[in-house]
Structure 1
Amino acid sequence: MGAGFVAFLTVLGIIPRLIQLSKTRKYIRLFEGSVILGALFGTILSFEAIHFSMPKVFLIFWGLLHGVFVGMLAAALTEVLNVFPILTKRIGVESKLIWLLMALVLGKIFGSLFQWVFFVRI
């Protein structure tokens, strides 16, 4: 899973585009190292039955970091592929682009809240 994720980021050129958009070129090694360490750590956690006991405040912070990561990844992917303008032109709803984006954002928010409220036992 980790190697596939890193390959996905590399092939699409998401990390360089993210660095260009955020104007953080001097931190490129930090970005690369973070992706590699994150993939390794995620792979290890996928194969091992490791449980962490953490305070709820830390879990809130951890969840916020995940949200930032997913948001930045989605923004970079959208920027690289220009998905939404092409999609709206093809289905003929160019004037409704903001509604499409809001539906995606709210769907992600409510889906995550639903999962956390009903399926995560803290």
Structure 2
Amino acid sequence: MILSLLLNLIQMIIGFAGGLAVGGGFVAFLTVLGIIPRLIQLTKTEKLLKVYAACVILGTLFGTYLTFTNLTWNQPIILLLLWGIFHGIFNGMLAAALTEVLNVFPIISKRIGMEKYILWLLMAFVFGKIAGSLFQWLYFVT
């Protein structure tokens, strides 16, 4: 009985520590990339800073809730399409911010000798991402 309680306590401490580590990494990732300030700057919506912060916090909490529950949604297809679009926008903005901060494309184009063909290189990345996403969804999901 006491051993079981002790094991549960250790699991709770490890889970809490892991959550703090992942949460700290997530916040550091957003801070280093400057996603929210860059988004505010590009959209010229400085007065909505609290809304952006609330959306990040609520989205994280909601995602955590969905992760730990067995909740399933039988929603209309239009709602699922909107949900997917918002996920795609978020992932696209995250990838764009990462490549902007790290200057990935100029470095890659110089390393492989395609400086003159940077547009073709970018289009290859875009179409490769689209093809990979479609393959995953059409082959593995459906």
Normalising by structure 2, report the TM-score. Answer: 0.73
| Paired position in structure 2 for 1:50 | 71
- Matched with 1:86 is 107
Equivalent position of 1:111 in the other structure: 132
Relative contact order: is structure 1 or structure 2 higher (C-alpha 8 Å, sep ≥ 6)? 1
Instruction: Show the counterpart of 2:16.
Output: none
Structure 2, gaps ≥5 residues long = 1-18
Which residue among 59, 64, 83 is the counterpart of 1:38? 59
Instruction: Please give the root-mean-square deviation of Cα atoms over the aligned residues, in Å.
Output: 2.0
Q: Which runs of 4+ in 1 moved over 3 A?
A: none
Look up the equivalent residue of 1:66 and give its one-letter code. H
Q: Tell me which moved more, 17-26 or 96-105.
A: 17-26
TM-score (norm 1): 0.83
Whether 1:25 aligns to 2:46 is yes
Q: 1:22 to 1:85 in 2, by over 3 A?
A: farther
Unmatched tracts of structure 1, length 5 or more: none
Distance 1:33 1:26, change over 3 A: same
Counterpart of 2:73 in 1: which secondary structure?
coil
Counterpart mapping for 1:54-73 below 5 A: 54-73=75-94
Q: How many residue pairs align between the two structures? A: 121
The one-letter code of the counterpart of 1:32 is: A
